[in-house]
Amino acid sequence: MRILITGGAGFIGQHVAVMLASEHELVAVDSLNAQVHQHAEAAVQRFPGQVVIADVSQASTWDALPGFDVVVHLAAETGTAQSMYEAGRYRAVNVEGTRLAAAAAASWGAALVALSSRAVYGEGRYECRRHGTRFGARCCPQAEAAPSREEDPHRPVSVYGETKSEAEAILAEYAAAIPVTVLRPQNVVGFGQALHNPYTGVLAAFLARLREGRPLSVYGDGSATRDFVHVDDVARLITWCIDHPGRLGSLRVLNCGTGERTSLTDLARFAAAAAPVASAPVEYVDVGRAGDIEHAVASLEGLRSAGAPLPRMSSEQAVADFIGRSWGLPGADSEAWDVALRELRQRGLTS
């Protein structure tokens, strides 16, 4: 098959391409944004197929493309905090880019697999003995965070989350014409993710600090939780969706995570344990960033019901793999994350 991968030269796209290259003809469309691609030429060379350097939010990009059998739509702006002050750019790429991708896929009669985000859930699901199930906020101290399910309502708290929610609504409109699957990954980690971009991913910051012997900075008291899923497990699920397209008439939505809740303190501990140097202490920074949430974890019941592949790596294993394989690679100094935090403070986006 001829498969188009938007954002194909990026972190997840490269892993998907490796899994597909032996059996399919691949083309990537990627803007090669300098914030993500510090070495753009190397990224192009790694992709096992043609790379079209273009912006998915421009209609001219799609007008110039031939037809494809499958579209894997990964291209997106992904920095939660940055989205709060770069809203126009995020909406252009994440919303208009998705609209154009879906329209092109429909015109070609191509199946579509698109990445959304766990950010659509916002604070997600809480279960309370007194008040029952609540979404988006803890109703009282008795409420306990619970795994988010695909049918849960959207309660995004960031512009990034809003754009992903709006993009899903667009994709639902096209599901009557072509098979459309939406995947909602949790925090994706692994070899190849940007080590110089301070606007996405706490693990790259931990890696930089470990290499410099600095304490690992955790924002808040460390009790906030996330679900860290390895990029190969995400890529494996995407390839499964290509081989098992959704049915016409309804949008298929699947979570993508480990189903394991990992606190930020535990995350720091996992990272330190995987480093080939003496463990650095953890320091807690009393700050909250706009768009941050307290808890996130995926329910995997949807994957099980669909017969889709479950993750092979635990969150701890995913973190260890990232630290071990990324240790000797170039990346930004840890000061880059300090600068990004100061920028948010100057913009009034911290508390």
Cα separations in angstroms, 37 against 42, 69, 184, 234, 267: 9, 28, 23, 20, 26
| Whether the predicted pLDDT of 40 surpasses 90 | no
The pLDDT of residue 79 is 87
Residue 240, H or E segment: helix 231-243
Indicate the Cα dihedral angle 334, 290, 259, 310, nearest 10°. Answer: -70
β 262-263/228-230 pair status: unpaired
The pLDDT of residue 36 is 81
Confirm if 272 and 202 have CB atoms less than 8 A apart: no
The pLDDT of residue 71 is 98
The beta-strand segments (E) located in 223-344 are 225-226, 228-230, 252-256, 262-263, 282-285
The burial class, CB within 10 Å (0-12 / 13-18 / 19+), for 135 is middle
Q: pTM of the predicted model, to two decimals?
A: 0.96
The pLDDT of residue 108 is 98
Sign of CA dihedral 143, 145, 151, 153: positive
Crossing angle for the helix pair 231-243 and 11-20, to the nearest 10 degrees = 50
**Segment 164-222, tens digit of pLDDT:** 999 999 999 999 999 999 999 999 999 999 898 888 779 999 999 999 999 999 999 99
Q: Which of 90, 121, 126, 160 is catalytic?
A: 160
- Phi, psi dihedrals of residue 242, rounded to the nearest 5°: -65, -45
Q: Could you give the CA distance from residue 300 to residue 85 in angstroms, rounded to a whole number?
A: 33
Q: Could you give the CA distance from residue 293 to residue 124 in angstroms, rounded to a whole number?
A: 9
| N- to C-terminal Cα separation, the chain | 50
Question: In the predicted model, what is the mean pLDDT of the chain?
Answer: 95
Q: Could you give the CA distance from residue 51 to residue 286 in angstroms, rounded to a whole number?
A: 43
Indicate the pLDDT class of residue 38, thresholds 50, 70 and 90.
Answer: confident
Q: What is the mean pLDDT of the segment spanning 242-262?
A: 96
Q: Pick from 76, 64, 209, 227: which is nearest to 145 by CA?
A: 227
| Whether the predicted pLDDT of 29 surpasses 90 | yes
Identity of the amino acid at 77? E
Indicate the pLDDT class of residue 61, thresholds 50, 70 and 90.
Answer: very high
β 187-189/144-146 pair status: unpaired
The pLDDT of residue 142 is 93
The beta-strand segments (E) located in 190-233 are 216-219, 225-226, 228-230
Percent of the chain with pLDDT over 90: 89
The pLDDT of residue 280 is 77
- Phi, psi dihedrals of residue 306, rounded to the nearest 5°: -80, -10
β-strand partners of 181: 113, 252
Q: Which two tokens stand for residue 69?
A: 């059998």
Q: Could you give the CA distance from residue 214 to residue 282 in angstroms, rounded to a whole number?
A: 9
Region for residue 201 given its phi and psi (left: phi exceeds 0; alpha: psi -120 to 50; beta: otherwise): left
Task: Determine whether 160 is an active site residue.
Answer: yes
Indicate the pLDDT class of residue 313, thresholds 50, 70 and 90.
Answer: very high
The pLDDT of residue 268 is 97
Residues 6+ apart with CB under 8 A from 339: 198
Confirm if 61 and 29 have CB atoms less than 8 A apart: yes
